[in-house]
């Protein structure tokens, strides 16, 4: 029996598949037929959803929220009654809709995801239904220039910690850690400055700075799972009793989704720089936490060149154009790299 359906594709006008909230999602469903085919209808469905799943099937915690649920009939009329006859050859059925404002960014995690996709279904007169789907990417940008001004300023965290027993030669460790600012975008470097004074009789085995991502998955209003990952690590060696050490090092920010996933209530993402002091004895490590914001568009400085071609046409386009990174934060091969000795 010859094959009637030669091609059944969903083709977007934007070949990069990357969209911003407020833009138009447009394209066509392309069908190529070898023979004349009666069709009852061609249905098109645009879906945007956030899902959290935790546990095995019998004890699974599940929650879901919908961002887009748009359906249209590209071929066939409810009142028509009979099938439409499609001749042999290529048929193109256009579609166009505006994406809602406030959509969260696409995200894929271990216990949940945010995905956007289109589905098409061609229903023949004989009951056969042909189906296809196509994923597209949504990025909800965060512009550091529109966030709190304090994010552009350096900030500092200090700690004084006692080690050992004072009466038998114990003492204090003093540490001051500074970041050059509180907001960054992928591709930038975080300048970490630290001053450590070891006034104790206990050697410090090493000090470490790390950029850490924390992902919280929520279901029915409760956190059901948490992931923590070290994305970039710097390590310095021993500090002897009575000695001091200074840090002036940089942590690279790899391609990552922005802080908080605005528009999603099931998945929360936060980023911190942790500075850790590890004593050589059985003493507990000393940890300083410095929260940062990861955004899409960097701080603009006076005199920065403006390139009007770096932004897609969008109702969300700000007055000043800023380059958007082309890589998507889905695959993260750097997670398995070893710490870098500073």
At residue 164, the pLDDT reads: 65
| Per-residue pLDDT tens over the stretch 11-34 | 999 999 999 999 999 999 999 999
pLDDT of residue 327: 39
pLDDT score for 262? 87
Residue ranges per structural domain of the chain = 5-138, 144-341
pTM: 0.79
Q: Does domain 144-341 have CATH number 1.10.1740.10?
A: no
Instruction: Please write the tens of the pLDDT for every residue from 255-306.
Output: 888 887 889 999 999 999 999 999 987 778 899 999 999 998 999 875 555 4
Residue 304: per-residue pLDDT: 56
> What is the pLDDT, as a whole number, of residue 163?
76
* Residue among 302, 297, 301, 303 at smallest CA distance from 317: 297
C-beta neighbour count of 277 within 10 angstroms? 25
pLDDT of residue 257: 84
DSSP string, 31-61: EEESS-EEEEEEEEEEEEEEEEEES-GGG-E
d(CA 104, CA 138): 7
Give pLDDT, residue 59: 61
Q: What is the DSSP letter of 300?
A: P
Q: Do 5-138 and 144-341 agree at the fold level?
A: yes
What is the C-alpha separation between 303 and 281, in angstroms, rounded? Answer: 52
How far is the C-alpha of 304 from the C-alpha of 274, rounded, in Å? 32
Q: Which two tokens stand for residue 201?
A: 């009789």
Nearest to 333 by CA among 227, 189, 231, 216: 231
CATH of domain 5-138: 2.60.40.640
The per-residue pLDDT for 334 is 39
pLDDT grade, residue 342 (50/70/90)? very low
Q: Exposure pattern of 14-29 as b/e (b: 16+ CB <10 Å)?
A: eeeebbbbbbebebbb
The answer to whether residues 327 and 223 touch, using CB atoms and an 8 Å cutoff, is no
Over range 162-171, report the average pLDDT: 64
Which residues lie below 8 Å from residue 309, measured CB to CB, with a gap of 6+? none
CA max distance for the chain: 96
Q: Which residue has the higher pLDDT, 320 or 226?
A: 226
Return the percentage of the chain with pLDDT > 90, whole number: 61
């Amino acid at each position: 029996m010859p094959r009637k359906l030669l091609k059944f594709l969903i083709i977007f006008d934007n070949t990069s598949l990357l969209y911003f909230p407020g833009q138009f999602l447009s394209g066509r469903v392309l069908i190529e037929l070898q023979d004349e085919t009666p069709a009852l209808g061609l249905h098109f469905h645009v879906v945007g959803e956030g899902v959290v799943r935790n546990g095995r099937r019998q004890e699974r915690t599940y929650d879901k929220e919908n961002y887009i649920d748009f359906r249209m009939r590209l071929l066939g009329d409810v009142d028509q009654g009979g099938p439409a006859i499609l001749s042999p050859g290529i048929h193109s059925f256009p579609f166009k809709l505006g994406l809602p404002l406030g959509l969260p960014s696409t995200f894929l995690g271990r216990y949940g995801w945010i995905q956007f996709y289109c589905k098409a279904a061609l229903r023949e007169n004989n009951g056969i239904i042909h189906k296809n789907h196509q994923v597209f990417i949504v990025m909800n940008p965060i512009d550091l220039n529109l966030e709190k001004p304090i994010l552009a300023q350096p900030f500092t965290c200090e700690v004084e910690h006692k080690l050992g027993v004072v009466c038998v030669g114990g003492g204090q460790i003093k540490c001051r850690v500074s970041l050059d600012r509180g907001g960054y975008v992928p591709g930038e470097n975080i300048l970490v400055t630290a001053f450590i004074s070891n006034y104790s009789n206990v050697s410090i085995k090493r000090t470490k700075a790390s950029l850490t991502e924390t992902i919280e998955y929520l279901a029915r209003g409760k956190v059901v799972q948490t992931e923590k990952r070290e994305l970039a690590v710097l390590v310095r060696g021993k500090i002897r009793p009575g000695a001091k050490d200074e840090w002036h090092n940089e942590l690279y920010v790899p391609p990552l989704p922005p802080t908080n996933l605005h528009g999603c209530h099931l998945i929360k993402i936060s980023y911190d720089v942790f500075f850790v002091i590890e004593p050589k004895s059985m003493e507990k490590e000393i940890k300083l936490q410095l929260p940062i914001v990861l955004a899409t568009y960097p701080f603009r400085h006076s005199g920065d060149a403006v390139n009007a071609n770096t932004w897609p046409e969008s109702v969300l386009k700000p007055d000043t154009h800023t380059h958007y990174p082309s890589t998507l934060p889905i695959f993260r091969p750097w997670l398995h790299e070893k710490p870098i000795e500073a």
